[in-house]
Structure 1
């Protein structure tokens, strides 16, 4: 489920409303509220503006919804000047995104939090590749 779907549902529960009541308060159909809670929208900040107008959200709730909307983007556009390595990385990610394991996601998040000042000279040396034995089985190093 998308971060926005979770935050949106949390807001509805916090308000103590069923989907139908929440929909009526916001001026939408109940089916649209259900679709959002299932991760099928919305597409922009105007939706949050409308929620804020109708519910008079606290700054905390508005910030949470806007952050969740940003985290729920499904489309990534590479910058015009992207390097060949960046294209390759993004396309490898695109091909494998449906099969990534939690540990792989965690490792990518750790890598993205590395300080900008870190250079390759500061990274530990890569482990040598394991040799393949007969029948494709790995030999102990």
Structure 2
């Protein structure tokens, strides 16, 4: 199961919807609902998520959260065209080892991402010179 599937299941059960009831209101097979809840399929598009939100009368916050979990739950991502050569090796090693990483190791990766974002922000802001050579 993934974050999207877990949250959708929680919302559905909270509203006492059965998978077949939700499927019927979306005009899909109940097996489709089962597959997106279990993580066997990638989360649906935003359009389908909005239809789910309408069918289950989700609040705006619940709908936003469901969309956020959908983004987090996508299994495949595309490497940018301008990735440095070192990035390919790194991504390959990460792909091979990702299923064996602990929660602590994921937290370290998250910290590295945050450091990188802070570095990029700092690099964009050029220091302001408060004095110029030769001025008194």
Q: TM-score, normalised by structure 1?
A: 0.72
Of the structure 1 ranges 68-77 and 108-117, higher mean CA displacement relative to structure 2 is found in 108-117
| Residues paired across the two proteins, number | 119
Higher RCO (C-alpha under 8 Å, 6+ residues apart): 2
Of the structure 1 ranges 2-11 and 100-109, higher mean CA displacement relative to structure 2 is found in 100-109
**Equivalent residue for 2:74?**
73
CA–CA separation in structure 1 for the residues paired with 2:118 and 2:27: 49
Does structure 1 retain, via aligned residues, the 8 Å contact 2:15–2:56?
A: no
**Equivalent residue for 2:26?**
26
SS in 2 for 1:93: helix
**Equivalent residue for 1:97?**
98
What CA RMSD, in Å, does the superposition of the two structures yield over aligned residues?
Answer: 2.1
**Equivalent residue for 2:126?**
none
**Equivalent residue for 1:6?**
6
More helix by share: 2
CA–CA separation in structure 2 for the residues paired with 1:31 and 1:76: 25
Runs of at least 5 residues in structure 1 that lack an aligned partner in the other structure: 120-141
- The answer to whether structure 1 residue 45 and structure 2 residue 46 are counterparts is yes
**Equivalent residue for 1:63?**
64
